[in-house]
Structure 1
Amino acid sequence: MPGIIGKKIGMTSIYGAEGVSIACTVIEAGPCVVTQVKNEEKDGYSAVQLAFGEKKEKNTSKAAIGHFKKANTTPKRAVVEFRDYGKEFETLAELGKEVRIQDVFVEGDFIDAVGTSKGKGFQGVVKRHNFAGVGGQTHGQHNRLRAPGSMGNASFASRVPKGKRLAGRMGHARVKLTNLQIVKIMPEQNLIILSGSVPGAKNSTVILQK
């Protein structure tokens, strides 16, 4: 099993071996349930589907309820597939089996975290792309401090090129951070502490993978 699903709890700080304060993120990871096992003969690829987080049955479709009943579990909020699991995790790839943190990770591992960043709404170029603005107030400049400046085109092409950094919606995007070290694992509370920040708001779903 190359990963697990969790929920972001918040941030804290831990003192390292040399007395240096390390900013850390606390994640409630698992327990997850194996809701489907895919293989190359039937599905064309090998993967394990994990589900995490309780969900009310009245808010779940009948197709999803039937899918979860096959794994002998209740409806879940998040369902994620993990492809190409190694041979060392074949014992976990069993329908209905419960997967916990200690089954996948150990302290000191470097893992990746995938989440949805906080939505910032419609923002200008200074906040969205770190533009500096037009600068000085002399030579007739007026209300131009946070303006994007020239579009860069005149008669030829007579349009704004694709990919031009302009104002627009910011955030609420899938973000992946790599090489976050596991500082501590607390299996009794299903908690895992990672060094650094993890994308997303509190209580948002986070995917942890090797």
Structure 2
Amino acid sequence: MSGIIGKKVGMTSIFSADGRSVACTLIEAGPCVVTQVKNVETDGYSAVQLGYGERKEKNTPKPLLGHFKKAGTTPKQKVVEFRDFRVEFEGQVDLGKSVKAGEVFAEGDFVDAIGTSKGKGFQGVVKRHGFAGVGGSTHGQHNRQRHPGAIGACSWPSRVFKGLRMAGRTGGSRVKVLNLKVLKVYAEKNLILVSGSVPGPKNSYVILEK
């Protein structure tokens, strides 16, 4: 499985061949540096570790400084491991080599996007789970419009079951969106245009897997 690390630039739309407006996301993908190459003989599995984004040396732990120095590169902000990198990259993923968007993806490919969704803080059941609320404001229900209603516990089982959908912290979690189509690849600018939405706010890190 090959992939690359990038940043979400923002959303826009383009017109398809049949005249439909297609919502899409622009991602700055790479260039990434190969910071480690793992193989079956020494590590038990095959993988390639990529680094992306610059990081100040004074804010980098010394073990990581040595790790990046071994690869012959500056400290990187984001490091991701991709297992079983594609066979056609054999010999091109040596330590310290650069991996660019145009080398990994082409127009028409389908990719999976992984990001951290926007944090919404503590939210009620209507926003968090799409509940409709208790309903009308008549018959003494003047302050119950967005409440969850009964939660089912009575003399039996005398407790609330685990996993019941209730109010709580919303967003800020790892989300994977499958099968987004690559609409355009701007290789000279390391930009990729994919159909649909990608989790996370602008300038957040995104992992693209193929």
Give the whole-Å Cα distance in 1 for the aligned partners of 2:209 and 2:92.
Answer: 15
Aligned residue for 1:85?
85
Partner of 2:74: 74
1:142 to partner: Cα distance: 2.6
| 1:84 Cα deviation after fit | 1.6
Residue 13 of structure 2 aligns with which residue?
13
1:68-126 C-alpha deviation (Å, 9 max, x unpaired): 01110000000000002232222233111100011111111011000000000000000
User: Could you tell me which residue of structure 2 aligns to residue 94 of structure 1?
Assistant: 94
Matched residue SS, 1:136: coil
Measure the CA separation in 2 of the matches of 1:15 and 1:146: 40
Whichever residue aligns with residue 12 of structure 2, its letter is T
Taking the aligned partners of 2:102 and 2:190, their CA distance within structure 1 comes to 9
Aligned pairs for 1:171-186 within 5 A: 171-186=171-186
Cα offset, 1:177, TM superposition: 0.3
Cα distance between partner residues in 1 of 2:143 and 2:166: 18
The answer for the alignment partner of 2:169 in structure 1 is 169
Aligned twin of 1:147: 147
Rounded to whole Å, the distance in 1 between the matches of 2:151 and 2:103 is: 53
Q: Which residue of the partner structure matches residue 63 of structure 2?
A: 63
TM-score norm. by structure 2 comes to 0.97
User: Partners in 2 of 1:140 and 1:62 — Cα distance?
Assistant: 64
CA distance in 2 between counterparts of 1:106 and 1:200 reads 23
| Pair 1:128-2:128 in alignment | yes
**Is there any run of 5+ residues in structure 2 with no aligned partner, and where?**
none
TM-score normalized with structure 1 length? 0.97
Which region of structure 1 is more displaced relative to structure 2, 88-97 or 75-84?
Answer: 88-97
Give the Cα–Cα distance (whole angstroms) in 2 for the partners of residues 162 and 55 of structure 1.
42
Corresponding residue SS for 2:189: coil
- State the AA in 1 paired with 2:132: A
User: Which consecutive aligned stretches of 4+ in structure 1 deviate over 6 angstroms post-superposition?
Assistant: none
Specify the alignment match of 1:188 in structure 2.
Answer: 188
- Per the TM alignment, residue 139 of structure 1 is displaced from its structure 2 partner at its CA by 2.4
Cα shift readout 1:41-71 (whole Å, capped 9, x = no counterpart)? 2112111000000111111111111100111
SS at match of 1:188: helix
Deviates more, 1:36-45 or 1:48-57: 36-45
Aligned AA for 2:140? G
How far apart, in 1, do the equivalents of 2:171 and 2:137 lie?
31
Q: Aligned ranges for residues 96-115 of structure 1 at < 5 Å?
A: 96-115=96-115
Matched residues, number: 210
- SS for the counterpart of 1:176 is strand
Partner of 1:24: 24
Which residue of structure 2 lines up, in the alignment, with residue 37 of structure 1?
37
